[in-house]
Amino acid sequence: MAASGIDITSLTEEQQLALQQFTSVTDQELDQAVPLLQKCQWNAQIAITRFFDGDADTVDPAAEAAQPQAAPPPPSDSARRTETLMDSITRSPTSSRSSRRDGLEPAPRVVPTPESQLSQQLPFPFSILLLPFNLTYTIFQRLLGAVGYVFPFLPRLVSRFYSGRASQPSRDTGRRPLSPRDTAARFMREFEEEYGVTHGTLPFYEGGYAQAFDIAKRDLRYLLVVLLSPEHDDTAPFVRDTLLSTDFVNFAKQPSSNILLWAGTVQDAEAYQVASALNVTRFPYACLISHTPSVSSTAMSKVATSAGPVTAPELIQKMQTAMQERSQELDRIRRQRQEQQATRDLRHEQESAYERSLAADREKARKRKEDEAAREKAEREQREREERKADQARKLAQWRRWRAQSITPEPGTEIKDAVRISLRLSSGERVIRRFQPEAQLEELYAYVECHDLLKNNETEVSEKAVEAPDGYEHEYKFQLVSPMPREVFDAAKGGRIRERIGRSGNLIVEQMAQDDDEEEEEGGGGGGGGGGGGQQQQQQLKMHTPLTLPLILTTLLPLLPLTVLSAPTALAPPSPFTLDATARTAGDNDPKRLIKRNVGGVRLCTGSDWTGWCDYVIWPLNECISLNDYAGHVLSFRPDEDTECYLMQGRCDSNNEFADLRYESQGLGSLEMLAFVANTSSYQCMKPLEF
């Protein structure tokens, strides 16, 4: 059957499974595997056994009988031959006829039969009848054995007249049966001890005959079987002169010979069964077994035999001749198997590459799903945040409308004890409003929060009733601060406006830092959120430029427009100032060389980095000090420790921009970075408040 004519898809699932199992074990092509499986009724185990036994071409009698065919002619008398029972078991007529046509005798694969199956115990009645004969035989055997021990020459003399001894193999039933590997090890040990050679002199295979047979068949090697019988006189000379000769040892060990040497003595059960299967009639015996593709794709045949004593050159010549005759066929099968193996390797690599590609695609799909899930989660969270912000904004707008309705109207001029508050809003707008004497501080915060509604929609607020939003607790995002002295009026502390601030006050609205969640949301918005934060900081700086923390000035100065002033080279010291005895002169750039420092003292210079004219002066705290001739020219300004000073425009005008300076503030020697430094004309110092 041609390979192209086999349709695997037409086979059932069980047949395909049997075919896969057979080809994986025997490494056969489909055109050779399918016919054998069909003959074995698709039984993979039977097909594998027949393949290794060399009976692949044997026709199953049941299958042959099921197919209609012409009856074969009766065999002629010349074709008949006498067979022993072992021959009829190990070799079928069909395979024998096919091998004989090529002049080759098949070499069977012999599996050692257990010792218990070599002889069958007679039934008990027959044992009783044969008991006298067994006793007589045992007595005579012991007597003759004793005579042979006393007179050793008698057994050899008798053997000369008993010719049948040389043609029939015998075995010692008293030897302990072992496994094939242990039997081979025992033979090698006895061989080395008897002939005085070292281990490895001859490359005997350390295993059973069936294992050596399978290796030779799988690897296309020559199996050289040597069978010895210690009872024959020719065994010892054959071993010493032929097997242990230098030429034969080199021939057996030479890698180019590709020989697998297996030997045994017929005293062992395995070697005895091999001798019977190979039809050995004379010892010593040597047989060369090889794969014969001309017989069948699985056949193993005897290609050369040698029985009886023979010299080493003759044995080597016979084996080499047989090997040369089969070398071309074996080379062709090797190339074919190499091609098949290369095809299988290529198919395996393609399957591996496909599996890797499939795994990569699965990984990409998994990552894509994870990315989609992460994107959907981010979008869902963004929607939730936007919904929360929208709901928060809606509730805030509702609360502001509701709170604007409850704000007490501004009292008239007839109320003499009303509180007057001046507010500087975050937008820079200046607002002045009067409040009731008993008004709470929260009322002032609510007014600032709802100022835009009260200013633009005061009529609408008063006419429409709005309820407070459910589940909403308002928090003010700003604080009211008195600039001089600086004091924060926190709404959480409560109290009345009159008690906390007084009858009048000048307050600044400062925005507080946003919550962490809101900062993260603004940060997630990209660069636009950062820019908005910078504009808010610059707007807050224009209000009063607080520098209470050491790093604030360094952070905010790059946001201000750059204005560099040139200090005059010859500026007379201001006459109202009282100079300290350790004050520096023009060009002194070391602000820390003053020996004595006092609370309320300041050091100022007309140049950057403490250059130009420098003075150290001390004036009372909480008083507005005029700069006189230094007005508009102070580029370096440092208060003493525990002192906070406001460098201001005009006559301590808190409505304009000013700088809040402390000893630990950064950038005190680079005030030219302030946009309003040219307009500075006064300052006021105080003890810093602790929050």
Three-state DSSP string of 434-465: EECCCCEHHHHHHHHHCHHHHHHCHHHHHHCC
Quick check: 630 pLDDT over 50?
Answer: yes
Quick check: 182 pLDDT over 80?
Answer: yes
Residue 96: the pLDDT is 44
Quick check: 565 pLDDT over 70?
Answer: no
Core vs surface per residue 409-441: b (16+ CB within 10 A) or e: eebeeeeeebbebebbeeeeeeeebebbeebbb
Position 145 confidence tier, pLDDT thresholds 50, 70, 90 = confident
Q: Number of C-alpha atoms within 13 angstroms, CB side, residue 365?
A: 6
Distance CA 487, CA 500 (A): 10
Please tell me the least confidently modeled range out of 7-16, 51-60, 265-274, 381-390.
Answer: 51-60
Both structure tokens of 80? 């008949």
Quick check: 17 pLDDT over 60?
Answer: yes
Strand ranges in 177-309 using DSSP code E only, listed in sequence order? 222-228, 259-265, 285-291, 300-307
Residue 129: the pLDDT is 85
Position 423 confidence tier, pLDDT thresholds 50, 70, 90 = confident
Distance CA 598, CA 642 (A): 9
In total, the chain counts a number of residues equal to: 691
Residue 568: the pLDDT is 37
Residue with tokens 């003959």, as numbered in its chain? 39
Position 401 confidence tier, pLDDT thresholds 50, 70, 90 = confident
Quick check: 156 pLDDT over 70?
Answer: no
Instruction: Label each residue of 486-528 as H, E or C.
Output: EEEECHHHCCEHHHHCCCEEEEEEEECCCCHHHHHHHHHCCHH
Cis peptide before 284 (omega within 30 of 0): yes
Residue 206: the pLDDT is 93
Better-scored residue on pLDDT, 417 or 92: 417
To 10 degrees, what angle do helices 269-277 and 180-195 make? Answer: 100
Q: What is the per-residue pLDDT across 606-628, written as a single tens digit (0 to 9) for each?
A: 888 888 888 888 888 888 888 88
Both structure tokens of 565? 């002033």
Better-scored residue on pLDDT, 165 or 126: 126
> In terms of Cα–Cα distance, which of 288, 365, 364 is closest to 330?
288
To 10 degrees, what angle do helices 209-219 and 269-277 make? Answer: 50
According to DSSP, the β-strands at 430-435 and 478-483 are unpaired
* Amino acid identity at 311: T
pLDDT (average), residues 560-564: 33
Q: What is the per-residue pLDDT across 19-65, written as a single tens digit (0 to 9) for each?
A: 888 887 787 888 888 888 888 888 888 888 888 776 666 555 445 44
Q: State what percent of residues in the chain have pLDDT above 70.
A: 73
Quick check: 222 pLDDT over 80?
Answer: yes
Q: Quote helix, strand, coil % in the chain, to nearest 5.
A: 45, 15, 40
Please tell me the least confidently modeled range out of 31-35, 64-68, 548-552, 660-664.
Answer: 548-552
| CB contact at 8 A, 1 and 34 | yes
Burial class (CB in 10 A: 0-12, 13-18, 19+), 252: buried
pLDDT (average), residues 508-530: 55
| CB contact at 8 A, 644 and 683 | no
Q: Which pTM does this prediction carry?
A: 0.41
Residue 1: the pLDDT is 40
Distance CA 107, CA 213 (A): 9
Quick check: 519 pLDDT over 70?
Answer: no
Helix (H) or strand (E) holding 395: helix 312-406
Please tell me the least confidently modeled range out of 281-290, 491-500, 518-527, 572-581.
Answer: 572-581
> In terms of Cα–Cα distance, which of 635, 563, 648 is closest to 603?
635
Taking only Cα atoms into account, the Rg of the chain, rounded to an integer number of angstroms, comes to 59
Q: Which residues are 483's β-sheet partners? A: 486
Q: What is the per-residue pLDDT across 458-485, written as a single tens digit (0 to 9) for each?
A: 545 455 678 888 888 888 889 898 876 6
pLDDT (average), residues 572-592: 41
Quick check: 4 pLDDT over 70?
Answer: no
Quick check: 76 pLDDT over 90?
Answer: no
| CB contact at 8 A, 649 and 657 | yes
Selection from 99-113, 588-602, 674-688 with the highest mean pLDDT: 674-688
| CB contact at 8 A, 453 and 401 | yes
Distance CA 216, CA 222 (A): 6
| CB contact at 8 A, 416 and 434 | no
Sign of CA dihedral 342, 346, 351, 353: positive
Residue 55: the pLDDT is 66
Helix (H) or strand (E) holding 556: helix 552-556
Better-scored residue on pLDDT, 366 or 174: 366
> In terms of Cα–Cα distance, which of 113, 68, 114, 70 is closest to 90?
113
What is the distance in angstroms between the CA of the first residue and the CA of the last residue of the chain?
A: 102
Distance CA 312, CA 318 (A): 10
pLDDT (average), residues 405-434: 85
Mean residue pLDDT across the chain: 76
pLDDT (average), residues 192-210: 92
Please tell me the least confidently modeled range out of 177-186, 338-347, 361-370, 579-588.
Answer: 579-588
Distance CA 634, CA 648 (A): 11
Distance CA 669, CA 557 (A): 12
